[in-house]
Amino acid sequence: MFDLDQTIKDRHSTRKFLSQPVPRALLDEALALAQLAPSNSNIQPWRLVFAQGDRRDRLQEALLNQAKQQPNVSPLPSAFQYYRQELGAQVYGAMGITRDDKANRQLAVLRNYEFFGAPMVAIVCMHQDLGVADALSVGMYLQTLVLSLTARGIGTCVEVSLATYPEIIRNELNISPELLIICGLAVGYPDPDFPANHLHISRESVEKNVSFQGD
Ligand SMILES: Cc1cc2nc3c(=O)[nH]c(=O)nc-3n(C[C@H](O)[C@H](O)[C@H](O)COP(=O)(O)O)c2cc1C
């Protein structure tokens, strides 16, 4: 039905959404496809809680309050900081925000906690006793979900920024203490008039990440 190569190329992080709701039937189709993702011992460790309407709005308010009082940045080893700076240059550049414009950069960061205007956000969790291989399974699920949504014209942004305030999310959405909150996923229709939604964030060459050994 869809061209996989093209869908992979079409997927980009959306950082401004329209308020238009996502039809539940389309979301259900994508969720059914994502459910086919592989997982370690087929334990299907992904757990998603979707918030929309008043739940979404309450979550946004609680997260924004906290993020304004106590700004948090998800940690990154110094060897990888370069990539974050490069990404910032590309995304903020497309938004017309210069490197020195701290006030507008801070406002742009807070947009994470508004889910970039998406009408719906999913909180992605897994059981706290599971490990790295299981987080990998959740990642494979998430990519399958995101591609299935992309193929249906629906935009997404994976948001690890939300996981810097796990207790706020846990309280607002009554998420069990057994579940580790990994990240959020903003879901909605991309605003076509927002230049940063059309970015092609650069990648390293394949050779930087992959090597072949032997004959
Ligand atoms: C695990 C993960 C966490 C991410 N967290 C955030 C986030 O908190 N905020 C954000 O704006 N983008 C976030 N992103 C999006 C990445 O910045 C983005 O995927 C990357 O820069 C490549 O750009 P592209 O998705 O447009 O191809 C995240 C992506 C992943 C996979």
Query: CA 63 to CA 170: how far, in whole Å?
Result: 11
Distance 204 CA to ligand 1 centre (A): 16
CA–CA dist 163, 137 (Å, integer): 18
- Per-residue model confidence (pLDDT) at position 72: 87
The pLDDT score that the predictor gives to residue 1 is 60
CA 141/CA 147 separation, integer angstroms: 10
CA angle 157, 72, 61 (to 5 degrees): 65
Q: Check pocket membership of 8 for ligand 1, CB cut-off 6 A.
A: no
Q: Which ligand 1 atom sits closest to the C-alpha of 87? A: 21
- Specify the ligand 1 atom closest to the Cα of 15: 11
Q: Is 87 in the pocket of ligand 1 (CB under 6 A)?
A: yes
CATH architecture of 9-71+78-198: 3-Layer(aba) Sandwich (3.40)
Locate all alpha helices (DSSP H) within the chain, ordered by sequence. Answer: 4-10, 24-34, 53-69, 81-94, 102-110, 132-150, 166-173, 206-209
| Low pLDDT (below 70) residues in the chain | 1
Check if 157 has its Cβ closer than 6 Å to any atom of ligand 1.
yes
pLDDT at 116: 98
Of 139, 114, 116, 107, whose CA–CA distance to 126 is shortest?
A: 139
156 lines ligand 1 (CB under 6 A): no
Q: Using CA positions, which residue lies closest to atom 25 of ligand 1?
A: 13
158 CA from centroid of ligand 1 (Å)? 6
Pairing state between β 155-159 and 120-127: unpaired
Pocket of ligand 1 contains residue 159 by CB under 6 Å: yes
Q: What is the pLDDT of residue 89?
A: 93
Q: Ligand 1 center to residue 76 CA distance, Å?
A: 13
Strands 155-159 and 47-52: unpaired
